[in-house]
Amino acid sequence: MIRAEPVALEFVGATPESEESLAIARLKRGDIGGLEVLVHRYQTQALRTAFLICGDHALAEDIVQTVYIRVYEKIGQFDERRPFAPWFLRCVVNDTLKAVQRRGRQVPLEKEDSSERIELVSGGLNLDEIMEAAERNSVLAATLSQLTPGQRAAIVLRYYLDLSDEEMSAELNCSPGTIRWRLSVARKRLRELLPTWMQPAK
Amino acid sequence: MQKTLPGERIRRAVRDYAASEMPASRDLWPTIQRRLQEQAGPRVRLVQARPQWVSFALAATIVALLAITAFAFSPVGQYFQPLNPLSPTSTQAAAVTAAQTATGTPQPSLTAASFETAAPANLASARQLVATRYTAAGSNAARPQLTAPVIATWTAIPVPPPH
């Protein structure tokens, strides 16, 4: 099951479950304000999940927006006794994989202004640390772009969304053995591609 | 055998990378709200664009059609339905003459309703024809008796003078 990232929950305060239930109930009544609560709760996690798989900022935003609009249209089919996050993030992962397959190409993950974005999230770091983070992220982006979309999805589900093998197999609709094999291949590939300074000391 | 990277190191690297690329300050809500309004907009405008009188006219037409249909299938309506929409023919005119001869009563006028296909030889045939048509129409209303006064009330056709 996909767990909510703590940083995403900080948006809405002390009682996330009850507030989420209320938001879903409002949405089922056609109140668009319920969707606003869900957007502010899960948009960061959804955007990062989509971006890690597709490597394209604009595409990731478009996918997440589209999934939210579909949530608004199909909320009547959602069983409110079940948690919202797994259902929603499964839609994000599947839509992102479909979008990448539609494009039929590996999307380059390199960016033009990485140092600027690093600065936004690393306000307390000195220049050396910022440059090191930018370099690390740039290398990781290039490395992830060498993986297949399926391997990237496996990495994201395991290391970003913290899913187990069984949960991942349900999300990606394949056997746990396949998941373990994909993860193993992806990790080996990362080790081959990442420079030695990013790897653990022997 | 080549070792794989430890999970915790990958986890930290992936999360740092995602956080640097997609800052938490990014807010999708204004765009989502605008897209929802754009989707709903054309449907709303389509409904609002239809003048109120068009709706009333449509409703009145539907009600009128329903009323006419209900009346047509009612016993009273069945009574008023024409029994024969055909125009007079020489065969029908001959049948009229035969009916006058059979009853021995001069008929000032007769409609073509009683003599639709094969010309009835006499008034009994005409009565049978009317009865058959009423039965086929499923009407349980009292059939008009094909008496001279009744026939006289029907839409008249010219009756050729007897030879």
Note whether B28 contacts A61, CB cutoff 8 Å: yes
Burial B67-104 (b: 16+ CB within 10 A, else e): eeeeeeeeeeebeeeebbeeebeeebbebbbbbbeebe
Burial of B43 (0-12, 13-18, 19+ CB in 10 A): exposed
Note whether A57 contacts B21, CB cutoff 8 Å: yes
Please give the pLDDT value at position A60: 92
Nearest chain B residue to A49, by CA: B18
Nearest chain A residue to B11, by CA: A159
Please give the pLDDT value at position B10: 80
Q: At A195, is the pLDDT very low, low, confident or very high (cuts 50, 70, 90)?
A: low
Note whether B4 contacts A137, CB cutoff 8 Å: no
Q: Which of A105-109, A139-143, B29-33, B71-75 has the lowest mean pLDDT?
A: A105-109
Mean predicted lDDT score pLDDT of chain B: 63
SS3 B110: strand
CA A50 to CA A44: how far, in whole Å? 10
Nearest chain B residue to A72, by CA: B36
B1-23: average pLDDT = 76
**From the candidates A137, A138, A145, A162, which should be mutated to test the interface with B, based on the most B CB atoms within 10 A?**
A137
Which residues of chain A have a CB within 8 Å of the CB of B34?
none
B161 in reach of chain A (CB within 8 A): no
Q: At B3, is the pLDDT very low, low, confident or very high (cuts 50, 70, 90)?
A: low
Calculate the alpha carbon distances from B49 to A31, B34, B43, B44 in Å: 25, 22, 10, 9
Q: At B130, is the pLDDT very low, low, confident or very high (cuts 50, 70, 90)?
A: low
Report yes or no: B97 and B107 within 8 Å, Cβ to Cβ.
Answer: no
The complex's ipTM works out to 0.72
| Token pair in block for residue A23 | 């938001």
If one compares A143 and A120, the residue with the highest pLDDT of the two is: A143
